[in-house]
């Protein structure tokens, strides 16, 4: 309706292609400039821009760093800059990108042109940072309600590899279109192959496939030639397919923003749709290990906090829609019948106020400088070297929780994270919040679902009934154990038991997260011996 061209800044080529195609189908002359185009195509778009024939031009944020492109923009009449996925501007967002941060120069270079910024995933803090970074002065702010009233949200603890749970879910959606998200490329390939053997029209999609294969899968899904795409997060942001009836996560996403954005691909036509999140504590451990590689301490701590929120959401017995709304600083009533939590019916609750006070007291006595596993070790009277190293065996809280299993203490800690009574600070140290202080002072009572105290246990490998430990792989691990034991001057069984060696030789774990799933290997044992055994396991797998 306005004279001139609207410049739309968008992060993905697939997203641009979808939207340009839709606009042109509606008679609007939209174009894009990106790296996938030929020299001739780029020149044609530029000529149309100079003739004022283009109504919307889609570009990636990186293009705004090009002087040639900025000179071109100064030659045409621009009516608006529109920034899509604008949460990428904020360092407090879940997908901060420096190229987006550079968009702060727009107000300086084009002071008379207005800016609009849109995102589906912004907390109030991110929203404020977006406005400040982009130099918006007293902007009009529009916030939609977070609840998707046509979307049913289910979360379940994953049993084994989750294939049985996935099959049960898909039985309700035969012939319908959906996306199944998996953690790794290998998981994607395995799950797609499994669904094909089950008779589903499914294909894999991940960044390791060629551009031609990805394009073919994308096209087949768009045109309903296949029903299910099994994918990593490489697939989806550019998808505006309206008839996606379900979204499944085979493992836990890293943030609430990712989860909310990914489930939002279902039911865009407004019809009833369904989502399923399968998760375990092992997912949280895997995600935490990936965060450890981040160099920026402040951003690392932010991602730890976001991961805790995501795990708390997956694990909560409270209304899922309401918890999503709360995360994004919104408020809604409980959904009553649109999530697995509300549909559970009455659940027996256990008062864990005293236990919570013990845990909070132990965190305080440890000066809020240690991770939750260390705090639990202190409570349970552990004889670990680390507890004695810091003289925590002399604290008044040492051993006061030895009658409670470690898995139950983990469940209690999860509940306190869920209530924002504790949070993760620098170097993964657990910190007490104001809500935690109120619990510690007996101003607030704490309750937990009875089954949560029994269910939360570390996922682990099992030894096959027909496993024979008299093999070369077992002997290789035993030889390494003997070498380490002699060097450390300790008995061999102190390093690892025969059962642990059998599990290692049977499963050949390939990552630290895999190693921690082996019975007999915890964080302390891994720190001492784990990397040597992991290297051997990786080499044996290759051979």
What is the model's pLDDT at position 465?
61
237 pLDDT tier (thresholds 50, 70, 90): low
**Whether pLDDT at 458 is above 50:** no
- CATH class for domain 5-133? alpha beta
Which residues are 215's β-sheet partners?
Answer: none
Cα–Cα separations (whole angstroms), residue 294 to 290, 302, 464, 520: 8, 11, 38, 28
Q: Which helix (H) or strand (E) holds 21?
A: helix 13-25
Per-residue pLDDT at 456: 40
When mean pLDDT is compared across 300-314, 325-339, 451-465, 472-486, the lowest value belongs to 451-465
Q: For residue 238, name the pLDDT band (cuts at 50, 70, 90).
A: low
303 vs 285, more confident: 303
End-to-end CA distance of the chain: 65
Q: What is the pTM of this model?
A: 0.67
Checking DSSP bridges between strand 115-117 and strand 177-181, what pairing results, if any? unpaired
CATH of 349-455, one of 1.20.140.10, 3.30.450.40, 1.10.10.10, 3.40.190.10: 1.10.10.10
Name the token pair of 196.
């094909």
- Answer yes or no: same fold for 5-133 and 151-343: yes
Q: Could you give the angle at the alpha carbon of 407 between the alpha carbons of 370 and 339, nearest 5°? A: 105
Superfamily of structural domain 151-343: P-loop containing nucleotide triphosphate hydrolases (3.40.50.300)
Q: What is the pLDDT of residues 357-383, one digit of tens each?
A: 999 999 999 999 998 989 999 999 998
Determine the Cα–Cα distance for residues 540 and 14; give it in Å rounded to an integer. 40
At residue 37, the pLDDT reads 85
Question: What's the pLDDT tens digit per position in 400-426?
Answer: 998 888 878 988 998 898 888 998 877
Paired with 356 in beta bridges are none
- CATH class, range 472-542: mainly alpha
Secondary structure class of 8 (helix, strand, coil): strand
Among 167-176, 347-356, 403-412, 450-459, the range of highest mean pLDDT: 167-176
Is the confidence at residue 459, as pLDDT, over 80?
no
**CA 367, CA 431: separation in Å to the nearest integer?**
9
- In this prediction, residue 454 carries a pLDDT of 61
Quick one: how far is CA 404 from the chain centroid?
31
Q: What is the pLDDT of residue 457?
A: 40
Residues shown for the chain: 543
Give the pLDDT band of residue 516 (cuts 50, 70, 90).
confident
Mean pLDDT computed over every residue of the chain:
88
- Please report which residue ranges of 256-405 form alpha helices under DSSP H: 256-263, 281-291, 297-315, 320-327, 340-343, 353-365, 372-379, 385-389
For the chain, what are the domain ranges? 5-133, 151-343, 349-455, 472-542
Cβ-in-10-Å burial (0-12, 13-18, 19+) of 424 comes to: buried
Ramachandran region of residue 351, left (φ > 0), alpha (ψ -120 to 50) or beta?
beta
Residue in 276, 282, 233 with CA at minimum distance from that of residue 258: 233
């Amino acid at each position: 309706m306005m004279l001139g061209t609207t410049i739309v800044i968008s992060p993905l080529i697939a997203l641009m292609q979808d939207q340009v195609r839709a606009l042109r189908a509606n008679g609007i002359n939209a174009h894009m400039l990106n790296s996938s185009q030929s020299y001739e195509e780029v020149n044609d778009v530029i000529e149309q821009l100079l003739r004022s024939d283009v109504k919307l031009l889609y570009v990636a944020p990186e293009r705004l760093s090009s002087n040639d492109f900025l000179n071109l923009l100064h030659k045409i009449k621009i009516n608006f800059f529109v920034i899509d996925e604008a949460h990428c501007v904020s360092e407090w967002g879940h997908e901060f990108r420096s190229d987006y941060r550079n968009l702060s120069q727009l107000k300086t270079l084009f002071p008379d042109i207005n800016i609009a910024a849109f995102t589906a995933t912004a907390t109030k803090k991110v929203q404020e940072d977006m406005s400040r970074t982009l130099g918006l002065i007293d902007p009009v702010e529009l916030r939609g309600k977070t609840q998707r009233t046509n979307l049913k949200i289910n979360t379940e603890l994953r049993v084994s590899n989750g294939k049985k749970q996935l099959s049960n879910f898909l039985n309700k959606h035969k012939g319908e279109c959906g996306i199944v998200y998996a953690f790794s490329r290998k998981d994607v390939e395995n799950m797609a192959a499994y669904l094909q053997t089950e008779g589903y029209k499914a294909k894999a999609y991940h960044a390791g496939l060629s551009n031609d294969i990805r394009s073919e899968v994308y096209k087949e899904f768009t045109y309903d030639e296949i029903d299910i795409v099994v994918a990593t997060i490489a697939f989806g942001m550019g998808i505006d397919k309206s008839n996606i009836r379900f979204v499944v996560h085979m493992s836990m996403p890293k943030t609430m923003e990712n989860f909310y954005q990914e489930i939002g691909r279902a039911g865009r036509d407004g019809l009833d749709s369904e989502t399923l999140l399968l998760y375990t504590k092992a997912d949280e451990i895997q995600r935490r290990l990936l965060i450890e590689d981040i160099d920026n301490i402040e951003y690392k701590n932010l991602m730890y906090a976001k991961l805790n929120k995501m795990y708390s959401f997956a694990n909560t017995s409270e209304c899922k829609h309401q918890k999503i709304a709360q995360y994004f600083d919104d408020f809604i009533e409980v959904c009553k019948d649109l999530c697995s939590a509300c549909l559970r019916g009455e659940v027996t609750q256990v008062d864990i106020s005293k236990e919570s006070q013990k845990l909070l007291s132990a965190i305080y006595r440890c000066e809020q400088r240690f991770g939750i596993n260390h705090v639990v070790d202190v409570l349970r009277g552990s004889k670990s070297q680390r507890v004695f190293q810091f003289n925590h065996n002399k604290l008044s809280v040492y051993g006061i929780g030895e009658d409670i299993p470690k898995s139950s203490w983990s469940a209690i800690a999860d509940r306190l994270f869920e209530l924002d009574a504790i949070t993760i600070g620098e170097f993964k140290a657990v910190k007490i919040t104001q809500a935690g202080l109120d619990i510690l002072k007996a101003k607030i009572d704490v309750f937990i679902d009875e089954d949560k105290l029994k269910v939360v246990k570390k996922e682990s490998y099992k030894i096959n009934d027909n496993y024979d430990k008299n093999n070369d792989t077992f002997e290789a691990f035993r030889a390494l154990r003997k070498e380490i034991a002699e060097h450390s001057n300790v008995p061999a069984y102190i390093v690892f038991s025969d059962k642990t060696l059998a599990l290692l030789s049977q499963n050949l774990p390939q990552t630290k997260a895999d190693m921690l799933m082996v019975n007999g290997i915890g964080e302390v044992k891994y720190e001492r011996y784990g990397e040597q055994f992991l290297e051997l396991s990786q080499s044996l797998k290759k051979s």
